[in-house]
């Protein structure tokens, strides 16, 4: 499971890595290789590199999203919540900061207590980490593409549109990850309570 999510994240990251390597080597990535390599050798190099890159993105994205979720998002939500008029009660409630309650059991404890609940929690956790990596990949890709298009004399798309589209996509992916994270944490709390009710000792 962990290997799959790291490969997915790393493969997506290779798109912006390719853009970074393409410029110094010309219009084709083939110029970056010192010699021709066959398909088997390419796969043998591609899979480990994508896996390691995926692990790096997963590690960095954890710190980035945690910082945004704990330090940036709450005061921003509080500010928007105060600025929205009271007559827009539903919209005002949507931006109200919510405290995240602690789960009674850790993920490891749930996996030891119940195989089925543990598998479900592991699947949800993997989904969260792929979404988290996709968010960071979108942010990096936006910066790389914006820099690449800005360096061209006649870019096919305006760098401003690239930046705007990348920001919108990044916000959508962050919102997606944030929702997945909350649903997984909610599932972990319910699973922990169910286990404790079944085995109170």
Could you give the angle at which helices 2-25 and 115-151 cross, rounded to 10 degrees?
A: 10
pLDDT at 34: 44
100 three-state secondary structure: coil
Each residue of 96-131: pLDDT tens digit? 777 778 888 998 899 999 999 999 999 999 999 999
Each residue of 131-164: pLDDT tens digit? 999 999 999 999 999 999 998 888 889 999 999 9
> Best-predicted range by mean pLDDT among 19-23, 48-52, 62-66, 84-88?
62-66
- State in Å, rounded, how far the first CA of the chain is from the last one: 32
Each residue of 27-81: pLDDT tens digit? 444 444 444 555 666 667 788 899 999 999 999 999 999 999 999 998 998 888 7
Helical ranges in 68-158 per DSSP H: 73-83, 89-94, 107-113, 115-151
Could you give the angle at which helices 39-67 and 2-25 cross, rounded to 10 degrees?
A: 100
């Amino acid at each position: 499971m962990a290997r799959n999510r790291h490969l997915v994240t790393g493969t997506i990251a290779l798109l912006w890595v390719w853009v970074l390597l393409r410029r110094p080597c010309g219009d084709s990535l083939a110029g970056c290789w010192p010699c021709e390599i066959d398909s088997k050798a390419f796969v043998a190099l591609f899979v480990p590199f994508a896996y390691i890159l995926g692990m790096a993105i997963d590690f960095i994205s954890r710190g980035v999203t945690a910082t945004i979720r704990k330090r940036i998002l709450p005061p921003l939500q509080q500010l928007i919540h105060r600025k929205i008029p009271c007559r827009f009660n539903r919209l005002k409630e949507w931006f109200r900061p919510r405290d995240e309650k602690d789960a009674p059991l850790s993920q490891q404890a749930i996996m030891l207590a119940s195989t089925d609940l543990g598998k479900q929690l592991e699947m949800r956790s993997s989904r969260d980490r792929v979404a988290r990596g996709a968010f960071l990949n979108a942010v990096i890709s936006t910066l790389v593409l914006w820099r690449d298009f800005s360096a061209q004399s006649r870019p096919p798309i305006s760098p401003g549109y690239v930046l705007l589209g990348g920001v919108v996509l990044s916000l959508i992916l962050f919102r997606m990850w944030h929702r997945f994270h909350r649903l997984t944490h909610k599932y972990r709390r319910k699973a922990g309570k169910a286990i404790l009710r079944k085995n109170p000792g």
